[in-house]
Copies of this chain bind each other. A is one copy, B any other.
Amino acid sequence: RSYSSRTAMTEGLFFRQLLELESMTYTYLLADTATKEAVIIDPVLETINRDLKLIGELGLNLKVAVNTHCHADHITSTGLMKKGLAGLKSAISKYSGASADILLSEGDKIPFGKHCLTVRETPGHTDGCLTLVMEDQSMAFTGDALLIRGCGRTDFQQGCSKRLYNSVHQKIFTLPDQCLVYPAHDYLGQTVSTVGEERKFNPRLTKSIDQFVDIMKNLNLPKPAKIDIAVPANLVCGLHEV
């Protein structure tokens, strides 16, 4: 049944969800339990010490810090992490406009030990939004494209609701029902969802494309408090005027 999932069970995978409380951003740490090679997704400047401490305790070898897109609500810790961890590479979409060691596009793989994440381009919230999918399709890191019972806004940063609708339907809703959906944010204390649940219960994305465009046009959200400092900083891995 689509909405009766359990947690992911990929063999030999370490997985940890972490939350930054000011921007309500989820950071994800994944590692191969045998080789200790690790990837971090959407790390936040405010929680860099917590995250580095955990990586150190676990003895992980962090290979890649990847951002699902150029965030407007918080500054990434990617650049600062690179200063402390030799060999760490930054990664972001080639359509983000941001600089990074690795510029990702559709189908690219981010390997860590015997595991890998595969890139699906899911633009619409921004031009450079990526969804990262585990090799066994047990988990998808959807950034701000698909949120739990919601989705990212489309009223700035190249936002386009038609594009977002098509991205979610073509690139995320085509994953298996039981695939866990791990977004970049949640503001209601929900930690995870599944593709099956969102396909059935997402109040926006279950609508027709025209209704969706209409809903997104009428959200009337305030401008994110940090956008004017976060976006320029995130275009250079968080190291703008640091």
Residues of A at the B interface (CB closer than 8 Å) are 1, 3-21, 31, 33, 36, 47, 50, 57-59, 188-192, 197, 200-201
Instruction: Decide: B58 and A17 in contact? CB cutoff 8 A.
Output: no
Contacts of A19 in B (CB 8 A): 19, 189-191
Q: Is the interface of A mostly helix, strand, loop or mixed?
A: loop
Across the interface, name the chain B residue whose C-beta is closest to A58: B3
Q: Are A192 and B50 in contact (CB under 8 A)?
A: no
Docked pose: A31 CA to B5 CA in angstroms = 10
Question: Distance in Å from the Cβ of A6 to the closest Cβ of chain B?
Answer: 5
**Smallest Cβ-Cβ distance to A33: which chain B residue:** B4
Assess whether A6 is in contact with B1, with CB atoms less than 8 Å apart: no
User: Considering only CB atoms, which chain B residue lies closest to A186 in the complex?
Assistant: B19
What residues on B are CB-neighbors of A200 within 8 Å? 57
Give the docked Cα–Cα distance between A197 and B12 (Å). Answer: 17
Q: Name the contact of A16 in the complex, choosing from B11, B15, B59, B192 (C-beta under 8 A).
A: B192
Query: A200 to B58, alpha carbons, bound, how many Å?
Result: 10
A182 CB to closest chain B CB (Å) equals 11
Sampled A-B contacts (18; CB under 8 Å): A3-B58, A3-B59, A4-B33, A6-B11, A6-B14, A7-B7, A7-B15, A8-B9, A9-B9, A16-B191, A16-B192, A17-B191, A18-B189, A19-B189, A19-B191, A20-B189, A21-B189, A57-B197
Q: Are B14 and A58 in contact (CB under 8 A)?
A: no
Q: Which residues of B contact A1 (CB under 8 A)?
A: 33
A3 CA to B201 CA in the complex, in Å?
36
Q: Are A10 and B6 in contact (CB under 8 A)?
A: yes
Choose among A12, A21, A47 the residue with the greatest number of B CB atoms under 10 Å from its CB: A21
Is B6 in contact with A12, judged by CB distance below 8 angstroms?
A: yes
Report the separation of the CA atoms of residues A8 and B7 in the bound assembly, to the nearest whole angstrom: 6
Of B4, B8, B18, B57, the residue contacting A6 (CB under 8 A) is B8
- A58 and B3 CA atoms in complex are apart in Å by 6
Q: Which 6 A-B pairs have the closest CB atoms?
A: A9-B9, A19-B189, A4-B33, A7-B7, A6-B13, A17-B191
Query: Which of chain B's residues have a CB closer than 8 A to the CB of A47?
Result: 189
Q: CA–CA, A18 to B14, complex, Å? A: 21
Q: How far is the CA of A53 from the CA of B3 in the complex (A)?
A: 13
